[in-house]
Amino acid sequence: MFKKILVANRGEIACRVIKTARRMGIATVAVYSEADKDARHVELADEAVLLGPAPSRESYLVADKIIAACKATGAEAVHPGYGFLSENAEFSRRVEEEGIVFIGPKHASIAAMGDKIASKELAARAKVNTIPGHNHPIESADKAVKIAQGIGYPVMIKASAGGGGKGLRVAFDDKQAHEGFESCRNEARNSFGDDRVFIEKFVEEPRHIEIQVLGDAHGNCVYLWERECSIQRRHQKVIEEAPSPFLDDKTRKAMGEQAVALAKAVAYQSAGTVEFVVGKDKGFYFLEMNTRLQVEHPVTECITGLDLVEQMIRVAAGEKLTFKQKDIARNGWAIECRINAEDPFRNFLPSTGRLVKYRPPTQNLEAAQPGPTDGGVRVDTGVYEGGEIPMYYDSMIAKLITHGRDRADAIAKMREALNAFVIRGISSNIPFQAALLAHPKFVAGDFSTGFIAEQFPQGFSSSAVAHDQPDFLLALAAASHRRSRERAATLTGQRRGREVRIREEFVIVLMDESGRRDQIPVTIRDSESALHVTLAGQTHEVAFEDNLRDIAVHGTFDGQPFCAQIERVGLGYRIQHNGAALFARVFTPRQAALEFLMPFKAPPDLSKVLLSPMPGLLVDIAVAKGQSVRAGERLAVIEAMKMENILFATQDCVVEEVVANKGASLAVDEVILRFE
């Protein structure tokens, strides 16, 4: 077994690998960029080596620097994690030539499976079901349109070296095929240095289901069941679960056996994933093979009890698998939510900056450790409170995983865990995740990869989530205000005759974006064990377990336990629960009457300016001063977290001034253009 390994990655996956290595008694070396000098993975490792500047092309993607770090620290092996150089066959080959063990498949396997065109041809020879398409590089956008017409729309345009949702577009007509080809080629060239693009038929109502495989150097190969990854937004996975609620055992077995056949065809040695698209008739077709550890590997670990990182290390060290296919368990159900630094209320634009508060839910499952038989909660992360989310890398803050007795139990545990997950300072997609988990179609297991686009066609907003108990949110606001007044009444030094008085009658004031107010009378009476809140003639019993300063508050509502997030913001309270949010101010009746007389201040008119919707790099300005622009035309391009975001004109206008310069680093709401 190795004495020291280097982890050629960052963030949560670097921390994840370090945990297993530590449990196995293996010393670890972290590598980091200048942006990551204070990162969590650097602190967790036994040693750390600086690679270079923040951009990944100058640090994490430079093979020479990784190899030099291995030699300087005496690391015998390198674990690439996922992303960066994890599926780079040339890097794997060079590492092996330098006498360093690559903890992953051999470079020939990576080369065969990493090229999507070659892998489809190999899969067909191995008698794996493949999808119709044009599996040769396409030279031009015009040629792409002709091929798409021949296959029949819709088609999927994919970069050969793509991954993680990058270099992929779905086209439903000639215009989209032409534009999608150019976008895929540009993204692939910038992200992977390989601009080859191919086209295949897009299966409508598809499910994305993948099979985890594990092979050793002695010819043994098994599959570790499947993962359901159909809940996606713009081809990026959002929620994953194992097993799939859609497959029957016959289809599950057939997919697993084909995945193993493909792995054996390339003498696969390590953990890998064979991805399939599955139609509503349970027909399945090979998509690609990921020759690395997947982001969503924890759900497989939960249901099998295996540590996949440990298995990768043992296989790389030459050990045999200690189990056969018949020995692999499938216990309970596991779900993973990707917690990303993005604002779901602003079209999921990236959100970077400092984590002012980071309080994950209580965990009783840990990576690289066996968990309780009845399941629980696990959080894989590479961040900490007070740390920075940089703009140079992907947007993942953490992976939240729950393991339950069955699917309903795993969903219930996940909803409670999301309610307890506190992130402040940056925006996160937690409200959106909570809304997805509460959606009736998700709960029923009735979804495809188009689920999010179909159910949220206008995007996501707070109004898209209705709480199943509206009085619950109102009662929490009122009860929280009563607690605050009780706390204020205990302060010493109050003027005689002006002490804080504890009232029972209040008015909850709600206001919408147009300034329309709702006033809801409420009565709050105290007892020894709870507050009794009366709304619209209905009395509810509210009891709190946590302190006023805590954001994630536990308690009981009408005898049922809950966890909700409650914050004092100005004169009001922001309440969040199960994806729904409410901002309420609680006044005395006299205060409410006076507040009703206050004029409403409308938000400023922003139709004359183009603001940066996120922090990022301004990589292009497509217009000039004095230029007339039509609605829908491209104005500027901002790059953040490895993704290009194009800003379009929402109306016909004339550019009065170009305020920001190409190459500038922009903050949220910074002015880019002014219009006449």
User: Active-site positions?
Assistant: 288
DSSP string, 274-320: EEEEE-TTS-EEEEEEE-S--TTHHHHHHHH---HHHHHHHHHTTPP
**94: number of Cβ within 10 Å:** 18
Alpha-carbon span 552 to 418, nearest angstrom: 10
The DSSP 8-state label assigned to residue 407 in this structure reads H
First to last CA, the chain: 69
Alpha carbons within 13 A on the beta-carbon side of 661: 2
Taking alpha carbons only, the member of 19, 11, 24 closest to residue 365 is: 19
Alpha-carbon span 33 to 59, nearest angstrom: 6
Alpha-carbon span 33 to 218, nearest angstrom: 38
Alpha-carbon span 297 to 240, nearest angstrom: 9
Please name the residues in contact with 663: beta carbons below 8 A apart, sequence gap of 6 or more.
Answer: 617, 618, 619
CB 386 within 8 A of CB 49: no
Please name the residues in contact with 340: beta carbons below 8 A apart, sequence gap of 6 or more.
Answer: 395, 396, 397, 428, 429
Taking alpha carbons only, the member of 367, 315, 400, 430 closest to residue 14 is: 367
Alpha-carbon span 560 to 630, nearest angstrom: 55
Q: Buried b vs exposed e over 46-80: b needs ≥16 C-beta within 10 Å?
A: ebbbebbebebeebbbbbebbbebbeebebbbbbb
The continuous run of DSSP H or E covering 52 comes out as strand 47-52
From residue 492, how far is each of 485, 495, 508, 548 by CA, in Å?
14, 9, 28, 18
Sign of CA dihedral 277, 11, 578, 587: negative
**310: number of Cβ within 10 Å:** 16
